[in-house]
Amino acid sequence: MQPLRAHSPGTRVALQIFTSSAGLSRFSCVVVGVPASDSSAGRPGSYYFVHQWLWPRLDLLSFGGAIILDSISRFSMEPKTQHLPYGFSQTFPEAYKKIIEDDLKGNFLALVTRGTSQSRRLAQTFMDNYSKHRKAGLVRVQEMVLETSAPINNNVLEMINHQAHYHFWAFQPSDKPTALPALLITDTDVYRRSSEVCPHPCTSEAFLTRRRQQAISLTCEGLIHTLLELQAERRPGTTEGSNGSSSLVSVTATWVMIVMAALLY
């Protein structure tokens, strides 16, 4: 395995953020931002982040989970613009029913998560904060829960196994798998036909239409409020004003990491 520093400049940024925040043990949640890094030198940066940086530290902290953003700008209110791979109905039956009822419109933000209690809690926190926005109805959130017993074929697997969250789900440092909680927030990328095609050359002004700006703003605001809520949480038994301040809450940090990947096209 190559050293992490040789492949992931984004991870080096995360290391610096954590180093500068390491002394803030009064907070119950430390957010570590990890910008995207390419995989031209081998495996993607998220793989090295999980294996070489996060794993050695897991015995020192309570890991809250990862929130992955991967393509959040393709939306369409037109019917038949959302493609669902063969077998999707067996893997995600509830999501399949809702999308079909909506005439396969690409009008939703997919929230892909495992069926574990920790992952579901993280997903629910995001959905609750997203739905508080007065314009949340413009782009709804569609939860896609991958239950442990759910059947999944290669067609569906290809839809959800190339983003950064998968390296948390598939983490196996030894003979025993150690799946880590991670959410994927995505517009489903190539599985959706956007109703707004950017001409070539595609400038930022042409790309950021009013609808795209609204959709991206909704996602970002929901995420920001989710992180603020998680950071404000206190460990059981911690009372306001303990240790001389209402914000002095925990010695053990709980992390929520954000991997920004392929925000646009």
Beginning with the edge strand found earlier in the chain, give each strand of the sheet holding 182-186 in spatial order: 29-35, 254-261, 62-70, 182-186, 108-114, 140-146
pLDDT at 234: 46
More confident position, 231 or 191? 191
pLDDT at 180: 86
Give percent of the chain with pLDDT exceeding 90: 32
More confident position, 41 or 107? 107
Confidence category of residue 193, pLDDT binned at 50, 70, 90: very high
Q: Region 129-155: what's the mean pLDDT?
A: 91
More confident position, 46 or 13? 46
Torsion of CA 44, 48, 54, 57, to 10 degrees: 180
Rounded to whole angstroms, how far apart are CA atoms 252 and 52? 21
How many angstroms separate the most distant Cα atoms in the chain?
58
* Most confident region among 79-93, 105-119, 135-149 by mean pLDDT: 79-93
Residue among 125, 129, 80 at smallest CA distance from 106: 80
pLDDT at 104: 97
Above 50 in pLDDT, residue 107? yes
Q: Region 192-220: what's the mean pLDDT?
A: 88
* Minimum mean pLDDT range among 45-49, 86-90, 152-156, 164-168: 45-49
pLDDT at 47: 80
Q: What is the mean pLDDT of the chain?
A: 76
Above 90 in pLDDT, residue 242? no
Rounded to whole angstroms, how far apart are CA atoms 239 and 97? 44
| CB half-sphere exposure, 112, CA atoms < 13 A | 24
Above 60 in pLDDT, residue 38? no
More confident position, 18 or 75? 75
Rounded to whole angstroms, how far apart are CA atoms 139 and 110? 10
CB-neighbour burial class of residue 210 (10 A; exposed 0-12, middle 13-18, buried 19+): exposed
Q: Region 31-45: what's the mean pLDDT?
A: 65
Q: Region 136-162: what's the mean pLDDT?
A: 92
For the question of whether the overall pTM of this predicted structure is more than 0.85, the answer is no
Above 90 in pLDDT, residue 130? yes
Confidence category of residue 37, pLDDT binned at 50, 70, 90: low
More confident position, 42 or 106? 106
